[in-house]
Structure 1
């Protein structure tokens, strides 16, 4: 039995061969600062962010798509995998994802975190390749496909052909950076201090990058910066647009940069097929329309945008045999094996 893991900055997902997606939890861990005892992981730990007593911390150990605190990630992965692998799986092989512009040190950190569970071999695959596989695209064909996987920590954009990436780029500001901008915006305009979880809820409820036909409202609650007392304000979707617009335009510029660097033959395929958007942020209100207007290309958002990477990772399990033999038509879609 082989396993696929999508270690995201916001969510960690696990796919087991023959069972499908078995786990989808927040990439958060709660621990004691002094004794390093772990109290909770996943969604349970996510609900503790900003609510922990003195001496206990709830943190995202992955930041910008890469591992920021390796020991915590190892502990988190072990606990989450024990939940879904009731009987200790005998040395499984694991496929896991990494961003496009990943360094050798960052790759090794991912491999070490996953290896702590006791695995036979770890194979790495870049996010856009996994997302393309999850969308049902034949990535080994000599046909150019532009995939933008926009998550919480990074936006990974790549043109895929013959199992490899012709051009690729990782833009290190995405969903989490938008949450931070919302926190700053509310503080600046309303003198109200809110947490990142509240900002994320606000973004999911009324977040958009195009002015909507009908204004939506969301009640944010926090602490008054002047009096220090609890207070709430009702914010409009047009205000959230103002807060997140700059980051959205940064992602659009990154996509345009990739298009400019793409060889003409591949560009003709992309002109025919358009751009495929995956990742949690792909469904942000008006984002696909904004990208379409800026690039003059058709943009498609996958129905299950958030799950494309883990489903593609699951499909990549079948490529392990080819990667081991090193005989593939073109380049092996799996990056490397450890």
Structure 2
């Protein structure tokens, strides 16, 4: 049974939820999808089981993603999903002692969005709910020492948002948060295939194409890879298969990728000169699932002229960072970085 000292870190992402339990590491990594019975309002499935139902449900069942672009779009469903994941992470036994929960938020959220996340965590069974900004958690999870008077730059690209920040002395010096991430990349692929081939494909097919053949920097690919993609022909209405190449994916993703590159340059322009000198030495660290998009690191390297490194466990960095933040609560609170106030 969990005692008073239970600490849980939650990376409440648009695409997936990762849960870190103190002393155990990351115990859960599941998609942020919930399947609900439309008539009774009952939850039928959560996580991976619900993701399999996306776009494949009968009329009375809806599979929804309660978070959009890094923030809560459906409060009640998010709270129920969070409760389910916290209970699953803590084992099947009832939580006699409520855990302290640290949840990540994008750096650009409003006070209302912040309050919604904190209240959802409290309703899901937290004794105390702390919030930490994603770039800060990503830097901690990537193993950067952000407590010293030296600049570090993090580019965290998740499912719904891209957070770019320069950190020093345990805090964020300058940052920018974009509502661009893995989901926007998927949408761009869906639109491109519809426009070029009159073919309607689903979210999962677009995601598969993004992971297998998509590239942000065609010069970095040794050969042009291709894959078959299936969907519904918008002219005949019949199922159809086409072959797509990595060059086409580059055209589809160019606009969304350009937004990320522009935001990185914008943050670099606002960075104080002393910290710019540190970043030249250390380079940029990329975290999040979006950082794994083929060629994105090479494109950033070419556009900024700085060294670019992808963190070792890019997808888990934010969740690992929440865990580290829980061990240094006092320091973070003294610096005014965290707040546990429940509004």
**TM-score for the superposition, normalised by structure 2:** 0.95
RMSD of aligned alpha carbons: 1.2
2:128–2:340 CA contact under 8 A, matched in 1: no
Q: Tell me the residue number matched to 2:3.
A: none
Q: Tell me the residue number matched to 1:26.
A: 31
Take 1:134 and 1:35, find their aligned partners in 2: how far apart are those partners? 41
- Tell me if 1:5 matches 2:14: no
- Tell me if 1:88 matches 2:94: yes
Take 1:202 and 1:103, find their aligned partners in 2: how far apart are those partners? 33
1:124–1:337 CA contact under 8 A, matched in 2: no
Runs (5+) with no aligned partner, structure 2 = 1-5
- Tell me if 1:75 matches 2:80: yes
Take 1:306 and 1:25, find their aligned partners in 2: how far apart are those partners? 12
The DSSP-based 3-state class of the residue aligned with 2:306 is: coil
The DSSP-based 3-state class of the residue aligned with 1:119 is: coil
The DSSP-based 3-state class of the residue aligned with 1:198 is: helix
The DSSP-based 3-state class of the residue aligned with 1:220 is: strand
- Tell me if 1:315 matches 2:324: yes
2:83–2:125 CA contact under 8 A, matched in 1: no
1:141–1:162 CA contact under 8 A, matched in 2: yes
1:163–1:332 CA contact under 8 A, matched in 2: no
The DSSP-based 3-state class of the residue aligned with 1:231 is: strand
Take 2:280 and 2:309, find their aligned partners in 1: how far apart are those partners? 13
The DSSP-based 3-state class of the residue aligned with 1:285 is: coil
In the TM superposition, residue 336 of structure 1 has moved relative to its aligned partner by 4.7
- Tell me if 1:256 matches 2:265: yes
The DSSP-based 3-state class of the residue aligned with 2:156 is: strand
Take 1:70 and 1:126, find their aligned partners in 2: how far apart are those partners? 20
Size of the alignment, in residue pairs?
Answer: 333
1:116-139: CA deviation from partner (whole Å, max 9, x where unpaired): 122111111100000100111121
Runs (5+) with no aligned partner, structure 1 = none
Describe how 1:55-134 pairs up with structure 2 within 5 A.
55-86=60-91, 87-89=93-95, 90-134=97-141
In the TM superposition, residue 178 of structure 1 has moved relative to its aligned partner by 1.0
Q: Tell me the residue number matched to 1:226.
A: 235
Q: Tell me the residue number matched to 1:304.
A: 313
1:168–1:258 CA contact under 8 A, matched in 2: yes
1:253-277: CA deviation from partner (whole Å, max 9, x where unpaired): 0000000001111111111111000
1:163-182: CA deviation from partner (whole Å, max 9, x where unpaired): 11100110111210111111
- Tell me if 1:51 matches 2:56: yes
2:164–2:264 CA contact under 8 A, matched in 1: yes
Take 1:83 and 1:118, find their aligned partners in 2: how far apart are those partners? 12
1:316–1:334 CA contact under 8 A, matched in 2: no
Q: Tell me the residue number matched to 2:194.
A: 187
Task: Determine which of 165, 169, 178 is the counterpart of 2:176.
Answer: 169
2:80–2:124 CA contact under 8 A, matched in 1: no
Task: Determine which of 134, 137, 143 is the counterpart of 1:136.
Answer: 143
The DSSP-based 3-state class of the residue aligned with 1:83 is: helix
In the TM superposition, residue 88 of structure 1 has moved relative to its aligned partner by 2.8
Q: Tell me the residue number matched to 2:154.
A: 147
